[in-house]
Amino acid sequence: MKRQSFFHWACLLVYAAGFHGWAQETLPTVGQSLVGTWVAQVAPPGGDFVPFGLGTFTTGGSYIGTSNDPTQSTHHGVWLRVGDRKFVLSTMFFTRDERGANSGIVKTRIVITLAEDLKSYEAAVERIIMDTSGRELQVISGIRGRSVRLNVETQQTPSQP
């Protein structure tokens, strides 16, 4: 009896696992990747979009970005696909004062929606401001972002090497 019960449970688990895998495979995944370099703009809560920087997503799930703000260090982070054209990104960078001394830490939590053409995305950003020891000082929600893929461009007037 115990042997038969074990067999039934094992079959049920295999059956259920098949449904889980099937559900994952029904999501269209062709081209749904952030891998590459993106040109970013950001808008503070209630503000207009302004140029922000560049960000590169790697195949391994890492992120590295730069900002046009000289008080910010390079941004480092990790990203993950969570649904149909949906991604989450967490980043961290250091801030510096006017003398270049470390003045704080900033973390971001970002939800990204990739456009249907896969060439741009919109983002909702939450920024966590911390002191140099990592103590949370402020959380800013309502920041918006948008980015377009950086593409290879050919010269307008090619010259011979």
Lowest model confidence (mean pLDDT) among 18-22, 31-35, 47-51, 75-79? 18-22
Beta strand pairing call for 36-43 and 75-83: unpaired
Q: How confident is the model at residue 5 (pLDDT cuts 50, 70, 90)?
A: low
Residue 89, in any domain of the structure: yes
Residue 62, in any domain of the structure: yes
Q: Provide φ and ψ at 153, rounded to 5°.
A: -120, 145
Mean pLDDT, to the nearest integer, of 59-69? 97
Mean pLDDT, to the nearest integer, of 34-39? 98
Lowest model confidence (mean pLDDT) among 18-27, 55-64, 97-106, 120-129? 18-27
Q: How confident is the model at residue 160 (pLDDT cuts 50, 70, 90)?
A: confident
Instruction: Kindly state the percentage of the chain with pLDDT values over 70.
Output: 81
Residue 101, in any domain of the structure: yes
Mean pLDDT, to the nearest integer, of 55-82? 98
Residue 127, in any domain of the structure: yes
Amino acid in position 28 = P
Residue 21, in any domain of the structure: no
Residue 21's H or E segment, with its range, is: helix 2-25
Residue 16, in any domain of the structure: no
Cα–Cα distance, 58 to 122 (Å, whole number): 19
CATH code where residue 132 lies: 2.40.128
Question: What pLDDT does residue 125 have?
Answer: 98
Mean pLDDT, to the nearest integer, of 113-134? 98
Residue 54, in any domain of the structure: yes
Question: How many C-beta atoms surround the C-beta of residue 128 within 10 A?
Answer: 15
Question: What is the number of structural domains in the chain?
Answer: 1
Structural domain boundaries enclosing 125: 36-149
User: Cα 101 from chain centroid?
Assistant: 28
Residue 17, in any domain of the structure: no
* Distances 109 to 87, 101, 143, 161 between C-alpha atoms, Å: 11, 25, 10, 46
| 42-47, Cβ contacts within 8 angstroms, sequence gap of 24 or more | 42/125, 42/143, 42/144, 42/145, 43/143, 43/144, 43/145, 44/140, 44/142, 44/143, 45/140, 45/141, 45/142, 45/143, 46/142
